[in-house]
Structure 1
């Protein structure tokens, strides 16, 4: 065996042993955990109930995982809800996890499309990047008052939620949401 082939085989073996397997979430897992995240969000953000009820659509990523080796990326799978029903499934890939994993042990994202035009713009692209294909407004979060929804004028609002609650000052810029065609077929009309 050539030395370069041997080193490649050793590197592949070490990489496979050090990296946990990445398994795709099932539709049932995504839907169940989406409900849990939305319940948590409604408890922690005053006015979230009404905002979600009035939304044209809500994109929820219940579990976003940090990718390792110092790259700081992230990955997650989620669902787009229209009138509370799943209509399509998406993946979330970004270059910045944005949370200190020593303080926050989980991360979820909730993206609220407040009007039908914003939702249709999102749905008409198979891949949508924050800051490139559209902007996501992050509402202010006050330590005493919590999430301030009054006066927010963006047509797309974004929220990052951890095990500690709704997290302030985390950007979604650069996140790419891509329709998962295999899972989305399951909810086609």
Structure 2
């Protein structure tokens, strides 16, 4: 039996708001501009910003087998939410592939935000698994060193032995928290 939503929103209004929230995720993050040079320039700026704000991340980058840098993730939600961004995988400081990230969510949520994130692949196996997959989702084996505008990097012995380390920073907007859970990464050709 179909019952109306208890919030007073019709199903049509709810579906429209969800589509609107997902549509907002495409604003300001390079959608429609498949230019590799633009992505690389944004990656350079993002890495420099991270190193300037959190100098200890330079040590992580030096030890990492590879870095996936997503300069701008745009996330929006009104009940249902979504996020989208494009970035580059760098190995030894050189871009080897380009990726998009897509994330969907449902629940009590409202808002929009933009943030950057960097995944540090600390082992060759973690990097190889990522590159081999046709669509890779971040698992529970990732450890966050920066999240929700943390003030410093906490990299201890346990963190440095994790196969994947995530840094989320540079949030702008009104939204409660940034998380990478549920994000799916897919190789693209810019």
Q: Same fold (TM over 0.5)?
A: yes
Shift in CA distance, 27/47, structure 1 to aligned 2, threshold 3 Å: same
CA distance in 1, matches of 2:151, 2:95: 32
SS of corresponding position for 1:46: coil
Matches within 5 A, 1:71-150: 71-96=80-105, 101=112, 106-131=114-139, 135-139=141-145, 146-150=152-156
**What is residue 47 of structure 1 aligned with on the other side?**
56
Shift of 1:43: 1.4
What is the TM-score with the length of structure 1 in the denominator? 0.71
Q: Is the 8 A contact 2:149 2:170 kept in 1?
A: no
**What is residue 29 of structure 1 aligned with on the other side?**
38
Shift in CA distance, 29/70, structure 1 to aligned 2, threshold 3 Å: farther
Shift in CA distance, 128/46, structure 1 to aligned 2, threshold 3 Å: same
Structure whose CA Rg is larger: 1
What is the TM-score with the length of structure 2 in the denominator? 0.70
Q: Deviations over 1:55-95 (max 9, x none)?
A: 10000111112246542210111100000000001110012
CA distance in 1, matches of 2:110, 2:118: 15
**What is residue 7 of structure 2 aligned with on the other side?**
none
Shift in CA distance, 99/147, structure 1 to aligned 2, threshold 3 Å: farther
SS of corresponding position for 2:145: coil
Which 5+ residue runs of structure 1 have no aligned equivalent? 1-10, 184-189
What's the RMSD between the two structures over aligned residues?
3.3
Shift of 1:122: 0.7
Select 1:60's aligned residue among 63, 66, 69.
Answer: 69
